[in-house]
Amino acid sequence: MTANDFIPKPYSNQVANGKVTWESPSNIALVKYWGKKKNQIPENPSISFTLNNCKTITTLTYTAKDNHDDFEFEVFLDGKQKEDFKPKIATFFQRVESYLPFLKRFQFKIETSNTFPHSSGIASSASGMSALALCLMSIERELNPEISEEEFKAKASFLARLGSGSACRSIEGDLIVWGENETVEGSTDLFGVKYPYTVHDNFKEYQDTILLVDRGEKQVSSTVGHNLMHGHPFAAQRFEQAHENLAKLKPILEVGDLKQFIALIESEALTLHAMMMTSMPYFILMKPNTLEIIQKIWAFREKTGLHIGFTLDAGANVHVLYPKAEATHILEFIKDELVGYCQNEQYICDQIGFGAKLIDN
Ligand code: DP6
């Protein structure tokens, strides 16, 4: 399959106007995507848990217009016009135009809101871009009702990827793989696919409590971050390691080996940050409280033998991951000992989820 397969044949239907709403979740990578080539192609494969509670809800209103010269859209976040969101969406429209040739034929109103606090440091690009891609796919489905469910999801993920790489892993759940690799049959650089192998019950309803250590603006944008991998002295080894970690994860997921699981995801998180610390220019995205939390998690795990682990995004927040069966004890520990390190004691309880939902059409 190539990107050209997503260029549609001439549409069979005509559409004048309408409105559609999708909600789409965020996701948290276990094996990290860090480094990309042209056209949002990842340098290495990644795998993520889709989340359940951290979501973006987007309503797209579309009205046919006479002139087809340019994109016309307005963006609202929580009911307020957001001029500063427009450049990213304009870039997205340009990137996907050949796959959605109707884009210049409509005037769009994009109304969006998140279930998590804005600028909490939680990536809203994954949930936001996937929700928008799905709304656009709903228009395409009106223009071409023949499209199958499978094609719909694959193309939504393909489009979301062109908005933000990790967004391609938010269309479905509960474990999504993106990036061609030998471990996962059917994996591709073009879009996210459902992890197709056995996953042990230990990972059912796996918990993710997100500790909001730093709600400030991102120090390093994802574009700048990924670019740091160009010419990075350890890039080749890192990309190779991601393939190896994905291969190692397969038996871990199958037999439910939580110890090995934790070792692998924590190593992935620290490697991501090590890549940032060893690039030029270099960055430290962890904060002192990120390290305090990590130390506490390790001490608590040592003391209790409970299966608590962490992962990190490209920021200071900590995702605390643990099995549902141990949730009572671990959540108590989080509230008693970790929440104090969060900004304004803010944290979000989430768990593994099953992907985006159409709310209204
Ligand atoms: C550290 O998907 O935000 O969260 O493709 O430039 O939009 P762009 O990058 P983005 O990068 C996410 C990086 C990460 C790891 C991951 O989610 O795999």
Nearest to 174 by CA among 196, 158, 143, 152: 196
Which domains are delineated in the chain?
Answer: 3-197+354-360 (3.30.230.10), 203-351 (3.30.70.890)
Quote the CA–CA distance of 155 and 137 in Å, as a whole number: 8
**Separation of CA 256 and ligand 1 centre (Å):** 27
Task: Give residue 28's region: left, alpha or beta (phi > 0; psi -120 to 50).
Answer: beta
What are the backbone dihedrals phi and psi of residue 323, each rounded to the nearest 5 degrees, phi first?
Answer: -75, 150
Quote the CA–CA distance of 285 and 277 in Å, as a whole number: 9
Atom of ligand 1 nearest to the CA of 164: 7
**Separation of CA 298 and ligand 1 centre (Å):** 26
Residue of 24, 26, 32, 33 to mutate, ligand 1, most atoms within 8 A of C-beta: 33
Looking at residue 9, its amino acid is K
**Separation of CA 285 and ligand 1 centre (Å):** 14
**Separation of CA 15 and ligand 1 centre (Å):** 34
Query: Which residue minimizes the CA distance to atom 3 of ligand 1?
Result: 222
What count of residues does the chain have? 361
Is residue 322 within 8 A of residue 306, CB to CB? The reply is: yes
Per-residue model confidence (pLDDT) at position 223? 87
Ligand 1 site, CB within 6 A: 29, 32-34, 40, 46, 123, 125, 164-166, 222-223, 226, 272, 313-314
**Separation of CA 203 and ligand 1 centre (Å):** 23
Is residue 334 within 8 A of residue 293, CB to CB? The reply is: no
Q: What are the per-10-residue average pLDDT scores of the chain (361 residues)?
A: 96 95 98 97 98 98 96 97 95 98 98 85 86 98 96 98 98 98 98 98 98 82 93 98 98 98 98 97 96 98 98 96 98 98 96 96 77
pTM above 0.75, yes or no: yes
Is residue 104 within 8 A of residue 139, CB to CB? The reply is: no
Strands of the chain (E only): list them. 17-31, 36-37, 41-42, 46-64, 72-77, 80-81, 106-114, 175-178, 193-194, 207-211, 309-312, 318-322, 347-351, 357-360
**Separation of CA 34 and ligand 1 centre (Å):** 7
